[in-house]
A and B are shown apart, each in its own frame.
Chain A
């Protein structure tokens, strides 16, 4: 039998970071509120209430689509997707069926350092459902409690083409998409809380065959890890069935974290007929060319291109670039530090190292922390010029991060500037050799390690101000000419 090739496509749902819900004035931010307090007649689905399109959500969707190189048709419309479920107050979801806001784009992502592209079928807009709460598991609970705080939150769906060829590619595709959404400021990327969700379509076919195999939809994967695990499992399950001569059934399966397996949820015969039809409560959406051009002009540099540019423009490593482009704000901070006069490689080390550690511990974004890009640049410059030691600089950075002071000012204020003065250095070297004669002798006898304690003694004597490189050089010179 020919080798089997997995064919995978992802459907990603992203809650949009708008102020209000998709079709009413309620807040789009719904977490942590008392149940059903963030509601109005429209999102409760009360009889008579009508939807009104949230313009900001439309613009965010178009921006995303443009960033994915999609085509934006001039006409678009909303449709009703009809099905019954207690978290769906109207008995239908307002979504987009045959005339979505955008079509035919692509997403670039990296797998093992290799660039790949995946087609984007469409990006469209819909509304989120409410949430259900149970005592324990849904199947054993005596009740379901409905909370509609989330009902009507704008939900953007990015439908990917079935262009992925291995379970390893899926999380990389999703990472790239997530980062893009964060760059655009349209989604917070939180998979755990469900503001970013991913479903997958998986089928197998003999390598070289054009026709698709029978498609299985896999749901309920809420981390990159579970996405890869679920797809690996599902590809394995289907491979096994085909190799045993059995047929794949078209169905929806859910990933069970507990069983580390996909479990059948719904067969084809139970598949819903959503009876889509045009939403009569909303007029068709006309998307003007001027708006599209305006939104296009306002797009941020996409992460992939930003990475290429940083790599090209500054002498920093690919790993550093990756860290510095996690968010657009990180890259902007880095470029500001460099613009303020810090050498790029050192700036990258300091930002990605000590400063990021401080930010993480304090749960604050770098652009909001108390150290400005200019202040970090000053400090980095002083370290690079040998005016202050690295360890002192790190301590001062931590202190300034807390107090809001300028680290460079602290250096001057406390007289902590690194000493390179020849006379002073010589005096400290003399003291060290006197204090540790055995170490000096060992070094002269060829024990390179013995230099450490001597440098340490000088650092101690100087209160950390002695330039350690200079100290080491002076020691070597002195110990190479004994008796002088």
Chain B
């Protein structure tokens, strides 16, 4: 078995006892990427030089202070390409940012580096994180390591596939409407969407600023907790990052679910949820009950409006966030353009893919004078209702349990021509973004040979209870050792 199939805590033990070096781990990751990734397509680029420099520094740290070195010291990781990495090209999966080398690190990237993690590369994603299948990347389509004819989910598809295929021990993704949890479910890994403001967004190329959160994708719940603890917390560069203390998240992992009240939202089991997915959820619920949790059905009545509200608010913010890509600094307009408007239009038409253009058009429309009240303002009201639903339910239960996605991974190309079907993929994940809640997708079983995740949602800043329930689901299903076929060599 590859060393990259081990948990971070086990690797940490071996690094500290000098059974393995950070350099060896980095080389193994880079070797596996070279051998396996051509078929998976998770990486947009590898960062050999950076990785070797960071690995050597990690080895020195581990040698000098084995017990004091942080848990992530020497661990090979990779970042979704929406995170700015100083000196390393960052494209957000878009042509328009081709060649953009940020002069600064995202806060999360800097925190991972400060924790001794070793960056082996940048990961593919849907263009500007807009998509649920990774098929909107301008560069390549990542495939699902469990079945190369299927999508890995999106938009953090590269991040999920890289962990599933054991090409990195942990990756960072971003979640605006499910972009961490959905691919985590499709690829059989753990993915955490922290509460809005729990993790700094500084250096995260914005999709929808009021919904975006950075979070980890890993093989195990504990691994996710280690990464989350390293990146969470206040940041003077991000005014929307909360100054509430993060607390001891590790303690939550071993508390079990005895005495917890868990809600299953009725609306999340409505039509569209596949039988296989439903079965995985039912089994997980039965196991949780056997462990002492009380499961109750709850209702989140505004759920049916959440998708529509999301597809007003997110595109509105997109239309503004992406305005800076105008051909002046980013993208190149038609050299023969004869007016400023023509230069803008050509640069943006050439630089953006169809889904991004669609959302810019949508967002521009809903913010237009005369339409603002009917769309944007109404959507914000729905958003408030969605948040109120959750707030009411969290007075009765400690956490919610649901499917992460209505189905397992779908076929490549299956939903490309049908944007509405693609949007519906996120129906069960995006309400948590609208409400700013904590959420995790944890592998819980298989449906027709494909991984299926269970989503655990907690209240605002309820990362601990999510980790606690997810750890129980993980322990009860005991699947995390299973690697996709062909990746365990």
**Residues of A with Cβ closer than 8 Å to B?**
41, 44-53, 80, 82, 84, 86, 89-92, 146, 273, 275-277, 280-283
Please report which residues of chain B, range 328-387, place their CB below 8 angstroms from some CB of chain A when the two chains form the complex: 328-330, 340, 344, 364, 367-369, 372, 376
User: Would A275 and B202 be within 8 Å (CB), given that A48-B106, A86-B340, A283-B240 are in contact?
Assistant: no
- Decide if A146 touches B328 in the complex (CB within 8 Å): yes
The list of the 10 closest CB pairs from A to B, nearest first, reads: A91-B323, A275-B367, A280-B210, A280-B209, A47-B205, A48-B203, A48-B84, A45-B324, A48-B205, A273-B369
CB pairs A–B below 8 angstroms (21 shown): A41-B103, A45-B324, A45-B329, A47-B90, A47-B325, A47-B330, A48-B84, A48-B102, A50-B202, A50-B239, A52-B236, A53-B239, A86-B328, A86-B340, A89-B324, A146-B328, A273-B369, A275-B372, A280-B210, A280-B240, A282-B239
Which of A52, A53, A80 contacts B320 (CB under 8 A)?
A80
Question: Which residues from chain B contact A47 at a C-beta distance below 8 Å?
Answer: 84, 90, 92, 97, 100, 102, 205-206, 324-325, 330
- Decide if B368 touches A275 in the complex (CB within 8 Å): yes
Q: Which of A50, A273, A283 has the most CB of B within 10 A?
A: A50
* 0/1 string, B198-223, CB within 8 A of A gives 1: 00011111101110000000000000
- Decide if B206 touches A48 in the complex (CB within 8 Å): yes
Interface of A, secondary structure class, is: loop
Question: Which residues from chain B contact A45 at a C-beta distance below 8 Å?
Answer: 324, 329
Question: Which residues from chain B contact A82 at a C-beta distance below 8 Å?
Answer: 319-320, 323, 367
In the bound complex, how far is the Cα of B239 from the Cα of A50, in angstroms?
Answer: 8
User: Would A91 and B364 be within 8 Å (CB), given that A47-B206, A50-B201, A283-B239 are in contact?
Assistant: no
- Decide if A84 touches B239 in the complex (CB within 8 Å): no
CB of B120 to closest CB in A, whole Å: 21
- Decide if B323 touches A52 in the complex (CB within 8 Å): no
- Decide if B203 touches A49 in the complex (CB within 8 Å): yes
Interface size band for B: 35 or more
Question: Which residues from chain B contact A92 at a C-beta distance below 8 Å?
Answer: 320, 323
Is B470 interfacial (CB 8 A cutoff)? no
Question: Which residues from chain A contact B37 at a C-beta distance below 8 Å?
Answer: none
CB of B239 to closest CB in A, whole Å: 5
Question: Which residues from chain A contact B83 at a C-beta distance below 8 Å?
Answer: 48
Question: Which residues from chain A contact B204 at a C-beta distance below 8 Å?
Answer: 48
Question: Which residues from chain B contact A283 at a C-beta distance below 8 Å?
Answer: 239-240
Is B175 interfacial (CB 8 A cutoff)? no
- Decide if B104 touches A41 in the complex (CB within 8 Å): yes
In the bound complex, how far is the Cα of B318 from the Cα of A92, in angstroms?
Answer: 12
Please report which residues of chain B, range 187-204, place their CB below 8 angstroms from some CB of chain A when the two chains form the complex: 201-204
Q: How many residue pairs between the two chains, A and B, have CB atoms under 8 Å in the bound complex?
A: 101
Could you list 7 further interchain pairs (A-B, Cβ under 8 angstroms) beyond the known A46-B102, A46-B103, A277-B372?
A47-B325, A48-B106, A50-B240, A52-B237, A82-B319, A82-B323, A84-B344
- Decide if B239 touches A281 in the complex (CB within 8 Å): yes
Question: Which residues from chain A contact B400 at a C-beta distance below 8 Å?
Answer: none
Question: Which residues from chain A contact B78 at a C-beta distance below 8 Å?
Answer: none
Question: Which residues from chain B contact A276 at a C-beta distance below 8 Å?
Answer: 367
- Decide if B97 touches A277 in the complex (CB within 8 Å): no
Q: Which of B92, B201, B203 has the most CB of A within 10 A?
A: B203
In the bound complex, how far is the Cα of B101 from the Cα of A46, in angstroms?
Answer: 10
In the bound complex, how far is the Cα of B323 from the Cα of A301, in angstroms?
Answer: 45
In the bound complex, how far is the Cα of B316 from the Cα of A282, in angstroms?
Answer: 16
Q: Quick one: closest A residue to B92, CB to CB?
A: A47
- Decide if B104 touches A277 in the complex (CB within 8 Å): no
In the bound complex, how far is the Cα of B201 from the Cα of A280, in angstroms?
Answer: 12
Question: Which residues from chain B contact A91 at a C-beta distance below 8 Å?
Answer: 320, 322-324, 326
Is B304 interfacial (CB 8 A cutoff)? no
CB of B300 to closest CB in A, whole Å: 24
Which of A48, A49, A51, A277 contacts B316 (CB under 8 A)?
A277
CB of A393 to closest CB in B, whole Å: 58
In the bound complex, how far is the Cα of B323 from the Cα of A82, in angstroms?
Answer: 8
Q: Quick one: closest A residue to B82, CB to CB?
A: A48
In the bound complex, how far is the Cα of B372 from the Cα of A478, in angstroms?
Answer: 95
CB of B94 to closest CB in A, whole Å: 10
CB of B122 to closest CB in A, whole Å: 14
Question: Which residues from chain A contact B208 at a C-beta distance below 8 Å?
Answer: 280
Please report which residues of chain B, range 9-62, place their CB below 8 angstroms from some CB of chain A when the two chains form the complex: none
- Decide if A51 touches B100 in the complex (CB within 8 Å): no
CB of B456 to closest CB in A, whole Å: 26
In the bound complex, how far is the Cα of B339 from the Cα of A84, in angstroms?
Answer: 13
Q: Which of B323, B325, B330 has the most CB of A within 10 A?
A: B323
Question: Which residues from chain B contact A282 at a C-beta distance below 8 Å?
Answer: 239-240
Q: Which of B100, B201, B237, B344 has the most CB of A within 10 A?
A: B237
In the bound complex, how far is the Cα of B367 from the Cα of A384, in angstroms?
Answer: 72
Is B317 interfacial (CB 8 A cutoff)? yes
CB of A125 to closest CB in B, whole Å: 15
User: Would A84 and B92 be within 8 Å (CB), given that A275-B364, A281-B239 are in contact?
Assistant: no
Q: Quick one: closest B residue to A45, CB to CB?
A: B324
Q: Quick one: closest B residue to A91, CB to CB?
A: B323
Is B238 interfacial (CB 8 A cutoff)? yes
CB of A50 to closest CB in B, whole Å: 5
